[in-house]
Chain A
């Protein structure tokens, strides 16, 4: 298992490096720069600014310096919010986004798995029909349609929940954004779970358990364990989807998370801020996939076995 873990980490590190390099150079290829404004800056001032932020150095040298700073955990100064470093901006925003994302994922996993289980236990029953119907809606309705509907319903009509803002993470403020973010994932997880569990229940080793008259809960333990693999594999992708979804959700609900830095940073050519968000998001996705791989290996002894290099 340790070897499996090390092998996965060994592939994640170069992947992260490639992402950093790609983001760095692509960003510089884009036309425009961080100090472009409506009115052209005085050439002397522009030159000074470029020198201060070391943008006048050769590109490879800039990249090398960036990597050195990164190795010390320093994401550099923001080029747009000039009084702040990227680290300072993230120190405030990252916990907000992480809370939102983690809760959405948890809701998606538990609600999705429960719905899927209900659907698989009685094929053609009410549970199955609810899963199918809800899943279709969850998948086809985009976040920017669901969010205003929820705001209208629970915020403006029922006055039950605030329509926006973060309010230092009060739970009332979290309900709607977490729900919005989780809904499509609930739908996908429920469908995956239902399909995987149905397949698992039809497997010959489940028939063996039935033939031995084993109790129902015991049969479901075996079937669930077999069904978890495809669901868990999807969770890596779900994490990435939640991260991108959060950009929209945070904007709609006016939440001070990472999402706005994504957009603002890219539009303002705030090189360091964009690099920072890319690294954080990439690291999060890689980390989540690593966790998924570990869970899969723990669930299925054959994964551990097959992953041994031949």
Chain B
């Protein structure tokens, strides 16, 4: 067997357990030099645990057994010292959260430099010079200046580039990328993916790519391993698995793409009309610098009919969430807003309050938007206590049960706390909280972005069902055009606070005029794997 064909990493019957709970149940796979293996599965399937277990990076309580042979070395038998000598130098990792995987208290140059000094034994001066080269390789503009930046001064995509620069610092043989693009905007994610592919080529690295998105990995991986509940249920070459999935779960993952909305309603009476909406945040100047204004939303006009859905597409920072808050009068804005024939522009907080029940909001993060100190029934009925204070306790409880049933949750869950529910269940609770007041307009701010694809589809179907049943009007905000396409009648694409393109959903997706819209569509379809 020649050296090129010899496996770089052989994992055999790897098991990870925490006490009686086993999270990885006998995983085996082989990775050759220069190849990319993808481990695919939804959250909780054990894909990250497998890799961290093989590298001895799990907390003390975790017990890892089996075998993971890197070249000729059994990783599980190595002392911490010998393992540390491999890590960073021969095997490097890129993590999912670029926000938190870098130390906020050190400049990025210092963090890359530390690896070069301690792992590649470069001098301080050589490390700084090499750090700049690495930032340049990772596609950071002006590396000479950015090397002195702190992580909080960079965007998510730039931070991930820094993390990649750290990973390739010692020219590793194996790069492990754990959901490296999941936390990023779609167009940014596409560029990071290109970068990884390019670096893998030029450095001759092998790569383990962990992802929940089968459509994404099949474009870049040689082999695909589908994991569920701690086991690999299907493995094979990427083309084979994609073209001919044997396991039902794999087929589900492949099909897990929200379908385009089939029917749209037309000529509905206007429910919401906004004209020339502007939101400014002022950055007050200091002693020497003049005050600056940021136009988060700049002269946006839109009109939405009863029972219709408007999709606001755009990347983070484009002003779509600010616009939605302005429409609900949750941030001060200039311009005119009419809701159900009433001019809201001059209404103050007290005058808005009775109207609030008809205008509800669902947030992105189902982990942060529900109070961990309140039970589900209290969360769901909180709005009722404001808007229908006369309602009795038992009547409220009945309403809570009904509301949970409506979002297809077991009503018994109302006695639990949010942290005892899964992400999808939590988002259903957040929707129930909005629906219990029987609103007419619901603004959904990235309602599915924090969820797995399969769960996403369930939530989107639920939203559509609720809309049909109650004639609801939606404003749905997402960076993911695939999600928007699934539910929206009309799409407005936002960039830098302005709507750059607006029209019927089908038209925007099939015949986009703006290059930016085309980029968003390309990114969404890339994630889809078409």
Interface residues of A (CB under 8 A from B): 3, 203-205, 207-215, 218, 222, 225-226, 299-302, 305, 308-310
Contacts and interface: CB of A to CB of B under 8 A. Distances in A.
B287 A211 contact: no
B165 interface: no
Contacts of B83: 213
A89 B96 CA distance: 63
Contacts of A210: 57, 87
B105 interface: yes
Contacts of B57: 207, 210-211
9 contacts: A203-B100, A204-B101, A208-B101, A208-B163, A208-B166, A213-B84, A214-B118, A214-B119, A225-B103
Given A208-B101, A301-B150, 7 more contacts: A205-B104, A208-B95, A212-B115, A213-B83, A213-B89, A214-B118, A300-B105
Contacts of A302: 104, 150, 152
A173 B122 CA distance: 53
B284 A309 contact: yes
B55 interface: yes
Given A204-B100, A308-B286, A225 B84 contact: no
B95 A204 contact: yes
A120 to B, nearest CB: 14
Contacts of B87: 210-213
B95 A212 contact: no
Interface in B99-148: 100-106, 114-115, 118-119
Contacts of A310: 281-284
Query: Interface on chain A toward B: helix, strand, loop, or mixed SS?
Result: helix
Given A212-B115, A213-B87, A3 B286 contact: yes
Contacts of A225: 103, 105-106
A218 B84 CA distance: 13
Contacts of B119: 212-214
A203 B283 CA distance: 31
A213 B281 CA distance: 44
Smallest CB-CB A-B distances: 9 pairs = A213-B87, A212-B88, A213-B84, A204-B100, A211-B93, A205-B103, A213-B88, A301-B150, A208-B101
Nearest to A206: B103
Q: Which of A203, A211, A299, A309 counts the most B-chain CB atoms under 10 A from its CB?
A: A211
A222 B119 CA distance: 17
B55 to A, nearest CB: 7
Interface residues of B, number: 35
Contact of B84 (A3, A215, A305): A215
A118 B103 CA distance: 23
B121 to A, nearest CB: 12
Interface in B269-303: 281-284, 286-287
A171 B128 CA distance: 49
Contacts of B150: 301-302
A214 B104 contact: no
A204 B97 contact: yes
B85 interface: yes
Nearest to B107: A301
B84 A214 contact: yes
Contacts of B102: 205, 208
A204 B87 CA distance: 17
A213 B93 CA distance: 11
A207 B84 contact: no
Nearest to A300: B105
B193 interface: no
Counting chain B CB atoms within 10 Å of each CB, the highest count among A3, A208, A309 belongs to A208
Interface in B69-92: 83-89, 92
A205 B100 contact: yes
Nearest to B56: A210
Contact of A207 (B95, B153, B166, B284): B95
Nearest to A308: B286
Contacts of A207: 57, 95, 101
Contacts of B163: 208
A203 B100 CA distance: 8
B448 to A, nearest CB: 24
A204 B94 CA distance: 11
Contacts of B92: 211-212
Nearest to B170: A212
A215 B118 contact: yes
A276 to B, nearest CB: 35
Nearest to A208: B101
Nearest to B152: A302
Given A204-B95, A218-B118, A222-B106, A305 B152 contact: yes
A143 to B, nearest CB: 36
A309 B287 CA distance: 11
